[in-house]
Amino acid sequence: MKTELKAKFLQHLNQKKSEKGFTLIELLVVIIIIGILAAIALPTFLNQTAKGKQSEAKQNVSSVNKTQTSYRAENKFFATNFDQLALGTITGDTATAATSNYSYGLTSVTTSPDQFQIAATARDTALKGYSGGVTRYNNTANQPVMSSIICEATTPGTTAPALPTVGGTVAPVCTGATTPVEP
């Protein structure tokens, strides 16, 4: 009996070796699970790349606002081109400049040295546009105040975002289809 048992055991081991691998159903289940995960992750990934590109515009508009505030304090007027601001990320001896993702435009209000606006227009329809502005005004205590704002377009697209309202006796505010953004 012992030899018969040994023979059956060896037969069983040989049978197990030949049955290695996955069944077709197991492979299909794994492929379906991977497909579902990819369908969930891909839109999130694409959204993150757009957010990364949009952070360029937010950062540049914020830098221009801060630099214009300093420039205004020193020179009693705002800079009219990007080379005067010496940012490094945006250059040019005109009031317009461009990067691979955005076109930028400076707008100084010629009637007053106390108002300035910038627009960052997306060059890709998946990105949102940004605008910003700086105003120097007197507050209720008649003290001079410099205030800036960054506005984000509510929908993506390649049309120029609405410029904020600047000037007067109040801080700048977002207008049109834009909302304020934390700098």
Is the per-residue pLDDT at 1 higher than 70? no
pTM of the predicted model over 0.95: no
pLDDT given at position 141: 84
Is the per-residue pLDDT at 11 higher than 80? no
Rounded mean pLDDT, 133-152: 87
Amino acid code (one letter) for 19: E
DSSP string for residues in 56-83? HHHHHHHHHHHHHHHHHHHHSS--SSHH
Top-confidence residue, 99 or 167: 99
Is the per-residue pLDDT at 183 higher than 80? no
Is the per-residue pLDDT at 127 higher than 90? yes
| pLDDT digits 0-9 by tens, 31-47 | 999 999 999 988 888 78
pLDDT given at position 120: 94
